[in-house]
Amino acid sequence: MSNWIEVAAEADLFEGAGIAVAPAGHDIALFIVEGEVFAIDNQCTHGNAQRCDGFVEGHNVECPFHQAQFSLRDGSVGCGPATEPVKSWPVKIEGGRVLLQLA
Ligand code: FES
């Protein structure tokens, strides 16, 4: 069952920075890398930091607190101190709108 929800305009996104969106009570960070949009949970699994404020390098984002790195592709941990991955969300673009599949 698909449940696609519009969360932003593609024009809201910029290479090298994330934005936070909150569809249906979720806290999700959106990123765009080389024209492709990625969505992962915004809250770090190591502490009270938000990934949308992190440093983007390639297809990874670095947590602003302790520099753990997470893959924008699948939320996996590339570098500690975090050990728990974050959830990644399916993304599609339609007519310049960013949609996430929440269920
Ligand atoms: Fe993110 Fe510590 S709060 S690595």
Rounded mean pLDDT of 11-18?
94
Q: In this structure, how many other beta carbons lie within 10 angstroms of the beta carbon of residue 43?
A: 18
The amino acid sitting at 59 is H
* Gap between the Cα atoms of 26 and 23, Å rounded: 6
pLDDT score at 66: 95
Q: What integer is the mean pLDDT of 91-103? A: 94
Domain-by-domain residue ranges, the chain? Answer: 4-101
Whole-model pTM over 0.85: yes
Identify the pLDDT of residue 1.
56
- CA 67 to ligand 1 center in whole angstroms: 6
Structure tokens at 66: 């302790």
Counting Cβ atoms within 10 Å, is residue 44 exposed (0-12), middle (13-18) or buried (19+)? buried
| Mean pLDDT value across the chain | 94
Pocket test for ligand 1, best of 65, 70, 77, 84 (most atoms within 8 A of CB): 65
Q: What span, in angstroms and rounded, lies between the C-alpha atoms of 70 and 92?
A: 21
pLDDT category at 103 given cuts 50, 70, 90 is confident
Q: Domain 4-101, CATH 3.50.50.60 — does that match?
A: no
Q: What is the pLDDT of residues 59-82, one digit of tens each?
A: 999 999 999 999 999 999 999 899
pLDDT at residue 56 tops 90: yes
